[in-house]
Copies of this chain bind each other. A is one copy, B any other.
Amino acid sequence: MNITGKQCINGQWVARSSVTFSSFDAATGAALPCTFFEATGEEVRQAVAAATAAFAHYRQTGIEERAVFLETIAGELDGLDDDFVQLVMRESGLPEARIRGERQRTSNQMRLFAQVLRRGDFLGVRIDTALPERQPLPRPDIRQYRIPLGPVAVFGASNFPLAFSVAGGDTASALAAGCPVVVKAHPGHPATSELAAGAIVRAVQRCNLPAGVFGMLCGAAIGADLVKAPGIKAVAFTGSLQAGQALTALAHQRPEPIPVFAEMSSINPVILLPGALEERGTQIAAGLAASATLGSGQFCTKPGLVIGFKGAYFDQFCDELAAAIGEKEPAVMLNRGILKNYDDGIDRLCRLPGITCLNGGRHHENRALPSVFRADSSLLQHPDQLLEHEVFGPVTVLVSIDNQQELLELLPELHGHLTASLFAEQGELNDCLALITALETRVGRIILNDYPTGVEVCDAIVHGGPYPATSDSRTTSVGSLALDRFLRPVCYQGYPDSLLPAPLKNANPLGIMRLVNGRWTDASL
């Protein structure tokens, strides 16, 4: 497998810099036998210039052409061979089944967006036909659809080296929207990134699209240059709160501010009602232990806070969860930086007043120890909301409170998170309406009797939530709605049919659902 270590700019692999860096085997810490070049400021400008030039053509491509492009990318991703899988495993420390599953998720994501394109509703077509006789003034013919914003900067995440990285959901949704993409490869998996980029580049070529539709740059320092590049019109990011906040600030300070869609931080609270614990506490403990340690706990949706009601059932549950976590193997983390951050997070938890470590602790032989803490409920009310600071890795914190009333008082004060899970028995559910309503206001996805890890890629999913879960709660970064982030409405007033774009023409040549004079229809005018 040939890794160049270079930037992908306008379809070419190039490197001007003399500054290099390495990729490491996550398990052993050994450097892989390839060298990567840091992109220069000039290379950032070139990649953005190529994306800008490509936008003029790419934004005008038809729905079918773009759908085929996404499907071609999907095929190229599926075609990456076993050596690729082995390489991703080495760079990420994640097991083979996970990588194969994630690859399929990534290519299926491309295919989902192809379906969405063909459905055409993302175009948001609204037509109000002329009313020439209206008094006191006639109404002109006005027709609205949505157009792409322009080149998008995508910041690959470390924890899903395929599904949230170079060819991940942000790239898929931006390309689907008609926006060229410039990816900042995550330095934790540069070789994986190069091979995924190669798959996209081949698809660009096979589909005869302008080479600038996709570019990729490596380097820790280029993020700011990329966000500040005038040609970039939106940013998609998955990563830490600190980095997301910094990029958002940069984007807002530009002469032309641009939107940033950053998915940043979540502890994904899990609420256990007494009946559920009584009925199946042991089963829930096993499930939660698996969820909290899945992927070494390196999921945005890892359950990081578990709240139950004081009593014998919850005490027993805590013991069972601690035991179940204790049976989990020490975990290879994505990289040594993340392992260190995990240790720092564990240390921070250990120092909190009123907290007890039930199992786990600092790392052992470069593996993270799966850990469980039990905290006093007063910590939930701490003004700094100490229990809501995400610790990235296989740790969860258990808290017991008095009753549902205390919970209802607590919930409005919670930070925004991606998910909230509720475990309850049938008989308890009727008293849960206020609880569900309150949960809904704090997160993007509320789950009944299931664990937050595992984010379905579909039309209905929301992977988002109020700040600081994301920088913009009005969107999702997973699922077909993610495409909407990169579109804006524009309307045509008084144009003849011959000059209208296809989605707005009388004949409805795309056969899509449109809002015509206040009614949804796929009929022609």
Q: Are B140 and A481 in contact (CB under 8 A)?
A: no
Residues in B neighbouring A473, C-beta threshold 8 A? 149, 488
| A203 lies within 8 A of chain B by Cβ | no
Q: In the complex, A467→B488 CA distance in Å?
A: 12
Whether A444 contacts B491 by the Cβ 8 Å rule is yes
Interface residues of A in 422-455 (CB under 8 A from B): 429, 432-433, 436-437, 440-441, 443-450, 454
Closest residue on chain B to residue A97 by CB atoms: B136
* Residues 470 to 516 of chain A near chain B (Cβ within 8 Å): 471-476, 481, 487-496, 498-499, 513, 515
Minimum C-beta distance from A75 to chain B (A): 20
Q: Please, how many angstroms separate the alpha-carbon atoms of A448 and B458 in the complex?
A: 40
- Who on chain B is nearest to A433 by CB? B499
Q: Verify A489–B481 contact, CB threshold 8 A.
A: yes
Interface residues of A in 218-245 (CB under 8 A from B): none
Number of interface residues of A (CB under 8 A): 74
A142 adjacent to chain B (CB < 8 Å):
yes
Q: Which residue of B lies closest to A437 (CB)?
A: B60
CB of A488 within 8 A of CB of B459, answer no
Q: Does A275 contact B (CB under 8 A)?
A: no
Oligomer copy total = 2
Known: A464-B489, A513-B520, A520-B520. A448 touches B494 (CB 8 A): yes
Residues in B whose Cβ lies below 8 Å from that of A436:
495, 499
A440-B490, A467-B257 known; A128-B460 Cβ under 8 A: yes
Interface flag for A119 (CB, 8 Å): yes
Asked if A518 and B115 sit within 8 Å, CB to CB, the answer is: yes
Q: Which residues of B contact A395 (CB under 8 A)?
A: none
A493–B142 touching, CB < 8 Å: no
Q: Is the Cβ of A518 less than 8 Å from the Cβ of B127?
A: no
- The answer to whether A462 and B490 touch across the interface, beta carbons within 8 angstroms, is yes
| B121/A461 in contact, CB under 8 A | no
Given A440-B147, A496-B429, answer yes or no on A460-B126 (Cβ-Cβ < 8 Å). Answer: yes
A259 within 8 A of B: yes
- A444-B128 contact given A121-B515, A149-B473, A432-B499, CB 8 Å threshold: no
Q: Cβ of A143: which chain B residues have Cβ within 8 Å of it? A: 460
20 contacts between A and B (CB under 8 A): A101-B136, A115-B518, A126-B459, A139-B456, A140-B456, A142-B458, A149-B473, A248-B257, A249-B252, A259-B472, A259-B474, A445-B490, A445-B491, A445-B492, A446-B495, A448-B492, A448-B494, A448-B495, A448-B499, A462-B489
